[in-house]
């Protein structure tokens, strides 16, 4: 815990900090959607010994290292279940998006979509991410079609 406190006191750019914790926000939101019940960060901390939280917190914002770490977690059979696998794949895509590696982002979003039923509510969240990719690529028409698919 002292390490996390030290990290918090050394923050010089709060925008960067917000970017770092956005993965946590999405993890919690998407796990809640998939599991159909509230999902608290303390549940992750209490039940998952496979995550090195200090390391993860220290690399959040370093998108390449985060992608590498999430990929390692995907291969950890003690940690991963189907629902968490989908969430990590979305987060990997999300981090590729921030690296402007749009093809890799879309690839991971497509994998996540293929893992969900056609009417699953999480598909809408993924469509928003895909729309963001196309909007960033200045293809507003395609972006709008994905944003409309959200519903």
Each residue's pLDDT, cut to its tens digit, for the chain (151 residues) gives: 565 566 556 555 555 556 667 887 888 888 888 877 665 556 555 555 566 777 777 777 788 999 999 999 899 887 778 888 999 999 999 999 999 999 999 999 999 999 999 989 999 999 999 999 999 999 999 999 999 987 6
CATH number of the domain bearing residue 130: 1.25.40.10
- Separation between Cα atoms, residue 92 and residue 89, nearest integer Å: 5
Residue 108's pLDDT is what?
99
- Separation between Cα atoms, residue 99 and residue 119, nearest integer Å: 30
Count of the separate structural domains present in the chain: 1
- From 44, 93, 48, 49, select the one nearest 67 (Cα to Cα): 93
Residue 58's pLDDT is what?
74
* Residues of the domain holding 39: 2-149
């Amino acid at each position: 815990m002292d390490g996390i406190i030290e990290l918090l006191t050394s923050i010089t750019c709060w925008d960067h900090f917000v970017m770092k914790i956005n993965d946590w926000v999405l993890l919690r939101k998407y796990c809640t959607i998939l599991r159909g019940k509230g999902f608290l960060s303390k549940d992750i901390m209490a039940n998952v010994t496979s995550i090195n939280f200090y390391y993860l917190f220290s690399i959040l914002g370093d998108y390449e290292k985060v992608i590498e770490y999430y990929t390692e977690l995907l291969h950890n059979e003690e940690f991963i279940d189907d629902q968490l696998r989908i969430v990590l794949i979305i987060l990997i895509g999300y981090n590729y998006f921030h690296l402007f590696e749009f093809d890799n982002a879309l690839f991971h979003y497509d994998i996540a979509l293929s893992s969900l039923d056609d009417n699953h509510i999480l598909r809408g969240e993924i469509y928003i991410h895909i729309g963001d990719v196309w909007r960033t690529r200045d293809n507003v028409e395609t972006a709008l079609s994905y944003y409309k698919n959200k519903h």
